[in-house]
Chains A and B, each alone.
Chain A
Amino acid sequence: MDAPLKILVVDDELPARNRLKEVLQDINEHLSLSVVAEASDGKKAVALLNEMSVDVVLLDIRMPGMDGIEVARHLQNLMMPPAVIFTTAFDAYAVKAFELNAVDYLLKPIRRERLQAALEKAEGRLGTKLTGLEQLQERARSHLSVSERGKILLVPVSDIIYLRAELKYVTIKTAQREYLIEESLTNLENEFGEYFLRIHRACLVARNAILGFERVVEEGSDGHWVVLLNGSDEKLPVSRRQQQIIREFKGS
């Protein structure tokens, strides 16, 4: 007999988790499985998955803080991401997107037959990564995630001072340290446009980290503007093309 399918249940509502466990118990008679853990929000789910190996995650979409879609995106940074089955009470938008992206989802209340079929399908594609999740995301993520030694590090977007593009990577700078992620600066700007300001072709700065601007004059040139940051001594140059932001900043 195969090893039982290891399942993590993630939902912010206790009755929903209890119900899901009951149904899983019923399915256990036909399909060998075991609920190895449960989590009441997205961050706890990511923390659990860093510590233990899980085959399938049953993931509620609408949760406080980090929603299910964002959790699933961060999970793709694991070496062996678990299969994800989304659960939702009602999400017209998400359900339509799932159909288009062939992502598995279940509607609450969840039927035994549907859940069993979804688990059997998931068993067949263990170890494959989900793609296209970013298209399902309705709002900006609360965290960016970095893969380090097989684990997911979550970096809260509110801790980021600036993002700088370097070749095929983007450097994330926080007050504590730097991280490297494989995302495009343009996509990040589209997603977090309200939060960051582009000061340069290759640099986005968190609006609330900006202390002010300073003009640096060097010999033999007109000089240029740099931005002064809260939490970092670096003085990042503002490109000539982006100088209108200085006026906007003074105006606000």
Chain B
Amino acid sequence: MASINQNTPPPALPDFCNLGVMLRVIFIVNGMGVLAGLARKPTWPGFWQEFLPLSVFIQPALLASLLLLCALRRAFTGRAYREFVVAVFVLETVIGILLYFGIHAVLPQDDFLALPAVLVFTLVATGIVLFYLNLRSRALSPAITEARLQALQARIRPHFLFNSLTAVLSLMRADPRRAERVLEDLADLFRVLMGDNRQLVPLQTEFVLCRQYLELEQLRLGDRLRVAWHIDKMPEDALVPPLILQPLLENAVYHGIEPSSEPGEININIYRNRDRVYFVLRNPYHGDSGTHHQGNKMALNNIRERLALHFDVEANMKSQVVSAGYQVTITIPYTTAK
């Protein structure tokens, strides 16, 4: 038992700035308010009599809590989960008491909820929300591991590895130094592909990896592969899920470049617009052929799944056939480590 516990990572602290988390919290607490109202007066007019004053308390309490917790996110980063829980309970108690007296000052009615009832509701709601978020994070972390494994299988096309090794062998005698560099790039790429990819990484890291990957492909494909990076407005410090771009580039090479003897261009545009980061990838399109389409869908689904695990509803991805070829667009919220 002990050894199993040691292997379980501590639950990740919930991100209260995430729209998905906010919506879930608002939904749960209001749901509890409705239940509390129904429990005390299970008739329609009675329920409204109970729920409305409770709601007068719940809505500002939720607003204040979510705003404060989002603002305090930085302060919690790196802290133990236990400390976080204690801090949240203290914070909620303070918000509860302050709001109780605040509301009494504005609406001086005798029949408003009593302080003990307000505090009990606050603490129970806090407990349930934290419990739910904890459960959710536990449920998701194996899913992230799973997604990583799937990603691994879906992504590394054995073709790429064996063809790259052949390319390295072809350099061994003629240009040993270049062969060394290529093997180093290959090592870097596989270190990431086989590593633990649950943590977000700076965009710059992913960018370097992608460039190394494309250089390997260039070695095999020569003039057939042309790459145009548009990264003047790329936010290097933005946090992104690792391997968010590389599989898309691999797809672009596999479906867009390899099927033609003519040169083709892969166009990558990364930029930030206010608090969103955009990735737009374009490659030549040669129509669907059964198996190819399958592989592509698998890689896209994999990325979509990982985006959802990391950013919930705040990330989105779409792929479409445009006049200039096949295009994938991803947008994620702009976040940084500091």
B-binding residues in A (CB < 8 A): 12-16, 18-19, 22, 40-41, 62, 64-65, 89-90, 107-110, 138-139
Of B8-16, B51-59, B156-164, the one touching chain A: B156-164
> Judging by beta carbons under 8 Å apart, are B169 and A19 in contact?
yes
Q: A16-B167, A19-B166, A90-B162 are in contact. Are A64 and B173 (CB under 8 A)?
A: no
Contact A108 B261 (CB under 8 A): no
Residue in B closest to A91 when the chains form the complex, CB atoms = B159
Given contacts A64-B261, A89-B158, A139-B289, whether A16 and B173 have CB atoms under 8 Å apart is no
**Quick one: which of B186-240 are within 8 Å of A by CB?**
219-222
What's the Cα separation between A15 and B258 when bound, in Å?
15
Q: Chain A contacts of B260 at CB under 8 A?
A: 64-65
CB distance from A13 to the nearest CB of B (A): 5
Could you tell me if B173 and A15 are in contact, using CB atoms closer than 8 angstroms?
A: no
* Number of B residues with CB within 8 Å of any CB on chain A: 25
Minimal Cβ-Cβ distance residue in A for B286: A64
- Considering residues A40, A62, A64, which has the most beta carbons from chain B within 10 angstroms of its beta carbon? A64
Kindly state whether residue B154 has any CB partner on chain A within 8 Å.
no
In the bound assembly, the distance between CA atoms of A138 and B222 in angstroms comes to 27
Which A residues are CB-close (under 8 A) to B219? 15
Closest beta carbon of chain A to B210's beta carbon, Å: 21
Q: How far is the CB of A114 from chain B (nearest CB, A)?
A: 14
Q: Does the CB pair B162–A107 fall under 8 Å?
A: yes
Q: Kindly list chain A residues whose C-beta atoms are within 8 Å of the C-beta of B167.
A: 13, 15-16, 19
B170 touches A16 (CB 8 A): yes
Q: Is the CB of B261 within 8 A of A109?
A: no
Whether A89 touches B169, Cβ cut-off 8 Å, given contacts A64-B258, A139-B289, is no
Q: A22-B173, A62-B159, A139-B289 are in contact. Are A16 and B261 (CB under 8 A)?
A: no
Is A64 in contact with B259, judged by CB distance below 8 angstroms?
A: yes
Point out the residues of chain A lying under 8 angstroms from B174, CB to CB.
18
Q: Which residue of B lies closest to A42 (CB)?
A: B261
Q: Are A108 and B163 in contact (CB under 8 A)?
A: yes
Flag whether B291 is at the interface (Cβ < 8 A). yes
Separation in Å of the B49 CB from the closest CB of chain A?
63
Nearest 6 Cβ contacts at the A-B interface: A19-B170, A89-B162, A90-B158, A15-B167, A15-B170, A18-B170
